[in-house]
Amino acid sequence: MKVLVVGRGGREHAIVRQFSKSASVETVYAAPGNDGMRLESELVSIDEMDFAALADFAKEQGVDCTFVGPEQPLTEGIVDFFESKGLRAFGPSKAAAQIEGSKTFAKELMEKYHIPTAAYETFSEISPAVDFIRQKGAPIVIKADGLAAGKGVVVAKTEEDAIAAVQDMLGDRMYGKSGSNIVIEEFLDGEEFSFMSFVYKGAIYPMVISQDHKRAYDGDRGPNTGGMGAYSPVPQISREIIDNTLNTIVKPAVEAMAAEGTPFNGILYAGVILTPEGPKVIEFNARFGDPETQVVLPRMKSDFGKFMNALLEGNSYELEWNDQAVLGVVIAAEGYPNQPLKGQVLPNLAGLSEVDIFHSGTKATSEGFVANGGRVLFISSDGATVEEAQKKLYAQINSLSWSGFMYRTDIGWRALG
């Protein structure tokens, strides 16, 4: 097979690596990719949003499958475009990608089809939003309706913080059009986990679950980010809860999308929280999570290319996963998520052993790799347990000097009690 992976971050590096390890895959292209992917793919200098150029390239090279990583091209209709050209692309249609592209769409879908989630209201004006906050009190959650690179969510501990978030989104347009509507919902307390599934024409292949750490600083403090680390499995979430989530959230969501005339194909990501009433949806995404992909895909024992081909052909396939724990940490540029530095040189990564390194925001220079984005690297390790993987990983990371960079030192703490 020849495979084209669309995207440039750590998630796409993990997808590229999984395809490159597959005996069934001959060539992996990454468009545009990043410099850290060069050893595992052929980089193609085409932007993710240049659908025509990407489709022309796929046709010229005889690409068998295009796998779309990021949310923006999906919500703008890249899969519809490829299919209109007779090309196979894995991901949701523009209509189905609304499950991520519009929080209001997702909440209304869940309400209509009785999929458990937090109570909410939608607002486009400041005054009624403030009145609602005053009425409900804090803690309370404010979300930009559209895409905001994982950062358009404020968990406000006070009414003042909540009102400030409303002003940022609706008044100051911090997230542009994505924040022209906001969703305000009740705060749910409990253990969070990420439940991702491959979905195609009604068939659902659940992946092993993971847990992401969204807050910038140790102890889950500081601003929300795109993710500072992740691990899999999540030992504090039982098999019974995982099965319950599949049956009360994932399957009903796939059936609901089909019933609405917007059938979902692609990666359905359910961000879930375990409440006293059972699992509830925090959010749906229409693609792999980042950084969850970097700890989930390495646990796949099956040939990824063979599985993807079987899925797209409509053939059944038994996905196999290993029992190892994988834990990884995001190395971010100092100042992330608000004003990350750029250009600082990374330490010599050759000094690390028994780790996997996924490049997110790096650039190759004569001095070595330098920071070229907020999240720069994702470094992971495995072990028989989450604790073993954590100890092994931090021993390696802490052996290098990270001047100009930042990372959390407690990824996996919830699993370790």
Question: Residues 255-298: pLDDT tens digits?
Answer: 999 999 999 999 999 999 999 999 999 999 999 999 999 999 99
Q: Does 109 map to a domain?
A: no
Query: Are 309 and 222 in the same domain?
Result: yes
Q: Does 134 map to a domain?
A: yes
- Give the residue from 404, 403, 408, 407 showing the smallest Cα distance to 341: 404
Percent share of the chain, pLDDT over 70: 99
pLDDT of residue 180: 83
Q: Does 143 map to a domain?
A: yes
Beta-strand relationship, 2-7 and 27-32: parallel
Q: Does 250 map to a domain?
A: yes
Which CATH number is 12's domain given? 3.40.50.20
SS3 6: strand
The total number of structural domains that make up the chain: 4
Q: Does 319 map to a domain?
A: no
Query: Are 222 and 302 in the same domain?
Result: yes
- Inform me whether the pLDDT recorded for 156 exceeds 70: yes
Domain final residue pick, 286, 313, 340 = 313
| C-beta of residue 40 within 8 angstroms of C-beta of residue 20 | yes
What's the whole-number mean pLDDT along residues 300-315? 97
Q: How many Å apart are CA 362 and CA 251, to the nearest integer?
A: 38
Residues facing residue 326 across a β-bridge: 232, 382
What's the whole-number mean pLDDT along residues 301-312? 97
Across all residues in the chain, what is the average pLDDT?
Answer: 96
Query: Are 336 and 282 in the same domain?
Result: no
pLDDT of residue 177: 79
Query: Are 299 and 349 in the same domain?
Result: no
- Please report which confidence band the pLDDT of residue 48 belongs to, taking 50, 70 and 90 as the band edges: very high
- Please report which confidence band the pLDDT of residue 204 belongs to, taking 50, 70 and 90 as the band edges: very high
What's the whole-number mean pLDDT along residues 94-117? 96
What's the whole-number mean pLDDT along residues 70-87? 97
pLDDT of residue 417: 76
Domain final residue pick, 313, 348, 372 = 313
Domain final residue pick, 186, 221, 239 = 186
The larger pLDDT score, comparing residue 39 to residue 180, is at 39
Which CATH number is 145's domain given? 3.30.1490.20
Q: Does 12 map to a domain?
A: yes
Query: Are 348 and 294 in the same domain?
Result: no
Query: Are 270 and 347 in the same domain?
Result: no
Q: Does 150 map to a domain?
A: yes
- Please report which confidence band the pLDDT of residue 52 belongs to, taking 50, 70 and 90 as the band edges: very high
DSSP one-letter code for 209:
P
Q: What is the pLDDT of residues 353-408, one digit of tens each?
A: 999 999 999 999 999 999 999 999 999 999 999 999 999 999 999 999 999 999 99
What phi and psi, each to the nearest 5 degrees, are found at residue 368? 120, -165
What's the whole-number mean pLDDT along residues 116-140? 94
Which CATH number is 212's domain given? 3.30.470.20
Query: Are 300 and 198 in the same domain?
Result: yes
Query: Are 398 and 383 in the same domain?
Result: yes
DSSP alpha helix (H) spans, 120-233: 126-136, 159-166
SS3 annotation, 288-356: CCCCCHHHHHHHECCCHHHHHHHHHHCCCCCCCECCCEEEEEEEEECCCCCCCCCCCECCCHHHCCCCE
- Inform me whether the pLDDT recorded for 149 exceeds 80: no
Which CATH number is 342's domain given? 3.90.600.10
pLDDT of residue 150: 63
Tell me the pTM: 0.94
Query: Are 182 and 237 in the same domain?
Result: no
Cα Rg of the chain (Å, integer)? 21
What's the whole-number mean pLDDT along residues 29-54? 97
Query: Are 301 and 334 in the same domain?
Result: no
Range from 181-190, 295-304, 397-406 carrying the lowest mean pLDDT: 181-190
Query: Are 294 and 333 in the same domain?
Result: no
Query: Are 86 and 167 in the same domain?
Result: no
- Please report which confidence band the pLDDT of residue 145 belongs to, taking 50, 70 and 90 as the band edges: confident
Q: Which domain holds residue 288?
A: 190-313
